[in-house]
A and B are shown apart, each in its own frame.
Chain A
Amino acid sequence: MTESSGSKLLNGEACQRTLRGKNAGKNGFVKNHCVFEHPRKYRRPTERSQNAAPNSSLYKKPFSESFEETPLLVAVLTYMGYGILTIFGYFRDFLRHWNIEKCHIAHEREQQKDFVPLYQDFENFYTRNLYMRIRDNWNRPICSVPGAKVDLVERVTHNYNWTFEHTGKVVKDVINMGSYNYLGFAENTGACASAAIETTHAYGVGVASTRCEIGNLDIHEELEQLVARFLGVESSMAFGMGFATNSMNIPPLTGKGCLILSDELNHASLVLGARLSGSTIRVFKHNNMQSLEKLLRDAIAHGQPRTHRPWKKILIVVEGIYSMEGSIVRLPEVIALKKRYKAYLYLDEAHSIGALGPNGRGVVDYFGLDPKDVDIMMGTFTKSFGAAGGYIGGRKELIDYLRCHSHSALYATSMSPPVAQQIISSMKIIMGEDGSTLGKDRLRQLSENTTYFRRKLREMGFIIYGNDDSPVVPLMLYMPAKIGAFGREMLKRNIGTVVVGFPATPIIESRARFCVSAAHTREMLDTALRAISEVGDLLQLKYSRRERPLSTPGWTYEESLLQD
């Protein structure tokens, strides 16, 4: 009896082993007991739609996020366009090299001609020959508060964007679809502004010292306590610079012998921080929990490379809202994985804090989770609060440790008091502690605007990326010439947009990115949508091949008929 069962077991194991050997083709392949099932492997992904989440039980409400596939013809034409522009780029570089035309941009000096060339790599080529041609769409100088509407300084160029001249005129009341002003706190009037002015009178603009030395003011303590209460964590810490909050606080947390699992689309500050820390970095596919789980399992099973010692710490680094894709992190699943594999979680809420959730408390609030499940809550005050700087929230031990070890706490000057006051006032408004419902109204307005704007764009037939609830709305443009044309045509219609091209996105996935704000009224959004639809027809941007809902002919068609 025992013998037979034993042999059975052995046979079974042997069988398994051979099977595994055949399948995986290498030893030490980790057994498959994953929390999240792998999808069928050889399915052709016609659409990266994530409507049917494999773990919908973890979500309290539907999580619908979609990335429509690039139409093949569009992809081919995009590559062709880049090809043509590259040929002309080489032609112009040839002319510059033989001094047939003057080079307006930094180039190799005559005296250094035998040194290593400095301006030869692809990025320089791209800047010289592709970016410069449509440079008028970026870095537009403004001369008013960047609220819902903004005034632009008019500028002209006489030499194809190499230099600009200001005409002295101002383009008034451009609808601002580009600022991360989610809750509309970028104002120069109102409660926040007057509180900041009062604080300036009381404290001045700064004390020019670090928090550790003589730069610590009571307003900073107040801010930190408020942030901790707002987030629902034990303790928090504020920094004067959002980028440095990420890049300088990951290094004290992890080091040699630690592993960082980072989303492939994480912001540059997180990437920099992870690299500075000296830990091993492994990158998982964007918002792909199967990929993350596989990396976690491999990390635990194999340990560090060569020595095979276990990793000291495993830190998962994700963002709340990804600013280029408009997607929201699958936080319930990340937390489930983190708990199961005993890893730590670093959540960057730069875009999501204030913009998501019924109480504006970010992605944790949006999913209705416990903030204590996230080990390190990071975020910035730059976006929703209309201020500057960043924070880190978490357990008291963590914050005390960071106070002593973080470079941005030890060496950076403390936050300017008026900025701190702006954050305190706006945060209190969001929390409803000012005794009004202004904050609630703004949150409601933002979520209504987001839903409305996304729905309308989708109905018009544009390819829109991201989650339905995310206020970052990327609209796909694809072709290089359309990046320039879209920005210019929208500005002609008095709407300021952000267009994004190569270094920030993959080379064929150029896009325009709209940021919906609570400050936008329905009329502004309608004006913007009308203009977008018009430009979309002009530039043929309505690529989507999804079936559009038939029941809503809506105002867009009627109006476009009237206009034409």
Chain B
Amino acid sequence: MYFKNFREYLSWLYFQYLLITGIYVLEPWEKSIFNSILFSAIAMVVYTSYVFIPIHLRLALEFFHEIFGGQPESTMTLMN
């Protein structure tokens, strides 16, 4: 496929999306329901990953650091 411009390419991509998901045959209001559900789900996934992944990464790093990190000196404190 050759495209004149980016816009045409985008419209072709949207057409492929319509065909593969099967919503090409749906009525416009059904299409908008499907799109809004799908895109809100994607948006939520993106948002949650933006919010929570850094926290989880930090926690994981700390956890592994504790396991594999060097022996902390504090465990060798004197008992007197």
Contact = CB atoms under 8 A, between A and B. Distances in A.
Interface of A: 77, 80-82, 84-85, 88, 91, 130, 133-134, 160, 479-482, 484-485, 537-540, 561, 564
A88 B26 contact: yes
Contacts of B18: 481
B26 A81 contact: no
Contacts of B2: 561, 564
A481 B15 CA distance: 11
B62 interface: no
A82 B22 contact: yes
Contact of B19 (A88, A134, A539, A564): A539
A527 to B, nearest CB: 21
Given A84-B34, A88-B30, A537 B23 contact: no
Given A84-B21, A91-B30, 19 more contacts: A80-B20, A80-B22, A82-B22, A134-B25, A160-B27, A479-B19, A479-B20, A479-B22, A480-B22, A480-B25, A481-B19, A481-B20, A481-B21, A482-B19, A484-B24, A484-B25, A485-B19, A561-B2, A564-B2
A481 B30 contact: no
B16 interface: yes
B21 to A, nearest CB: 6
A481 B25 contact: yes
State the majority secondary structure of interface residues on A. Answer: helix
Interface in B1-54: 1-2, 12, 15-16, 18-27, 30, 34
Interface string B47-77: 0000000000000000000000000000000
Contacts of A481: 18-25
A357 to B, nearest CB: 40
Contact of A85 (B1, B19, B22): B22
Interface residues of B, number: 17
B45 to A, nearest CB: 18
A564 B4 CA distance: 8
8 cross-chain pairs, A with B, having the tightest CB-CB distances, nearest first: A81-B22, A481-B24, A564-B2, A133-B25, A481-B22, A481-B19, A85-B22, A84-B22
Contacts of B27: 160
Contacts of B24: 481, 484-485
A163 B70 CA distance: 77
Contacts of B19: 479, 481-482, 485, 539-540
Contacts of B16: 540
A148 B26 CA distance: 33
B20 to A, nearest CB: 5
State the majority secondary structure of interface residues on B. Answer: helix
A197 B12 CA distance: 53
Contact of B21 (A80, A130, A537): A80
Nearest to B38: A84
A312 B18 CA distance: 56
Nearest to B16: A540
B66 to A, nearest CB: 42
A134 B19 CA distance: 13
A534 B12 CA distance: 13
A31 B15 CA distance: 57
12 contacts: A84-B23, A85-B22, A91-B30, A160-B27, A479-B20, A479-B22, A480-B22, A481-B25, A485-B19, A538-B1, A539-B19, A540-B19
Nearest to B19: A481
B50 to A, nearest CB: 27
Contacts of A88: 26, 30, 34
Contacts of A485: 19, 24
B1 A81 contact: no
Contacts of B20: 77, 80-81, 479, 481
B21 A133 contact: no
A81 B22 CA distance: 5
Nearest to A159: B27
A80 B21 CA distance: 7
B74 to A, nearest CB: 55
Point out which of B16, B24, B34 has the most chain A C-beta atoms below 10 A from its C-beta: B24
A133 to B, nearest CB: 4
A88 B29 CA distance: 11
Nearest to A83: B22
Contacts of A564: 1-2
B12 to A, nearest CB: 8
A537 B1 contact: yes
Point out which of B16, B19, B23 has the most chain A C-beta atoms below 10 A from its C-beta: B19
B25 A85 contact: yes
Contacts of A133: 25-26
Nearest to A87: B34
A160 B30 CA distance: 12
Nearest to B20: A77
Contacts of B1: 537-538, 564
A160 B26 CA distance: 9
A370 to B, nearest CB: 50
Contacts of A130: 25
A133 B23 CA distance: 11
Contacts of B26: 85, 88, 133
A60 to B, nearest CB: 44
Contacts of A80: 20-22
Contacts of A84: 21-23, 34
Contacts of A561: 2
Contacts of A82: 22
